[in-house]
Structure 1
Amino acid sequence: MSDTSSSGSTTGSSTHTPTYSERLWVPIWWWPIGIGIAALLAAELHMGAPGMYAWLPYAVLIPCALWVLVWLSRRRIEVIDGELVVEQAHLPVELISRGVVVPGSAKSAALGRQLDPAAFVRHRPWIKTMALVVLDDPEDPTPYWLISTRRPAELLAALGHGEPPTS
């Protein structure tokens, strides 16, 4: 799997407002579990070394757990100024030939046997749906982008390759 696509520009982010923007947060139920695991680990360390610095494992491990959850949620998908932006990869919308919503039931096949090794993939396991964006650029070896998104129909509509949701 490639980390970036050779198509499009690699300039910095634009100051314009995005047509579409989505941050791929971890599920809400992960937060109490992460904090609980950090607190249990800190309690184990506290029991093993009581005394003046018994608070130290709590002060270190709980913020570390919060940092890991925020770090896992850092990915953002945006459509800005005619470009699809996923992390540092940019794809001009005019290079997209079509887009398809990949439902949760077809996600395993899309990431398994049917996956082209040259595809640009940005996957988050806690997000069920994906968007498949097929490129029309003979100079780019990347055949398509496969991106986890909670709102694939809205993303494709922002790219001009789909109908906006009616709800």
Structure 2
Amino acid sequence: MQLSAAPYEERLTAPRSWWLISFLVGVSFALILLPFGTLPLLGGLVGGTAVAAVMASAYGSPRIRIVGDALIAGEAKIPVSALGASEVLDPEEARAWRTYKADTRAFMLLRAYIPRALRVEVTDPADPTPYLYLSTREPERLAAAIEAAGKANTQDA
């Protein structure tokens, strides 16, 4: 049996400006250590930049993908059969759903630097999560992939 490629996969990478900020953090550390000499200055530059870059990379590491009949979003894995309707959120609606419209029981994989999102209802009665809020750069494509995976799942059953 051969596994097919995932119909959707996205990494929520940090924006390019964060890498510049990582370098500037290193420069800040270098300036703090300047009075102690050249070696500490270089150590501060390299160490500060490295630590800030690792943090930016870690924050931008979550993936959203559909593998087989499951949606994997960050560390969460939910069968597509337990998902209901999807709603593509423009930047204004996405902001509303992560602030005053948000439900504290919802699963939220959000990144503030991604303005759009997809809201997916959870239809499993045993799951207390009412919906998934997923920051994504391509919400229409993710919604179509979830729908396609759901149809493929019902055809296989």
Query: Normalized against structure 2, the TM-score is what?
Result: 0.85
Partner of 2:132: 145
Question: Which amino acid in structure 1 is aligned with residue 6 of structure 2?
Answer: P
For residues 52 and 127 of structure 1, the distance between their equivalents in structure 2, rounded to whole angstroms, comes to: 39
Corresponding residue of 2:42: 55
Greater RCO (Cα-Cα under 8 Å, separation 6 or more)? 1
Cα distance between partner residues in 1 of 2:127 and 2:5: 28
Q: In the TM superposition, what are the counterparts of 1:14-53 in structure 2 within 5 Å?
A: 17-45=5-33, 47-50=34-37, 52-53=39-40
- Number of equivalenced pairs: 146
Q: Aligned runs of 1:76-155 on 2, under 5 Å?
A: 76-155=63-142
- With 19-28 and 62-71 compared, the bigger mean Cα shift is at 62-71
Task: Report the CA distance between 1:23 and its aligned residue.
Answer: 0.3
Could you tell me how far 1:151 is from its partner in structure 2? 0.5
Identity across the alignment (%): 27
CA displacement at 1:76 relative to structure 2: 0.5
Once the two structures are superposed, residues 92-125 of structure 1 have per-residue CA deviations (whole angstroms, 9 ceiling, x without a partner) of: 1111121000110112211122111111111100
Query: What secondary structure sits across from 2:23 in the alignment?
Result: helix
Change over 3 Å in CA distance of 1:99–1:48 after alignment to 2? same
TM-score when normalising by structure 1? 0.80
Measured after TM superposition, the shift of residue 58 of structure 1 is 2.1
Q: Residue 119 of structure 2 aligns to which amino acid in structure 1? A: L
Contact 2:106-2:131 at 8 Å conserved across structures: yes
AA aligned to 1:87 is: G
Q: Which runs of 5+ in 1 are unaligned?
A: 1-14, 162-167
Alignment gaps of 5+ in structure 2? 149-157
CA RMSD, 1 decimal: 1.7
Partner SS for 2:16 = coil
**Runs of 4+ deviating beyond 3 Å:** 51-54
Letter in 1 for 2:89: V
Instruction: Tell whether the 8 Å contact from 2:107 to 2:133 is kept in structure 1 after alignment.
Output: yes
Task: Tell me which residue corresponds to 1:71.
Answer: 58
As a proportion of its length, which structure holds more helix?
2
What is the identity, as a one-letter code, of the residue corresponding to 1:119? A
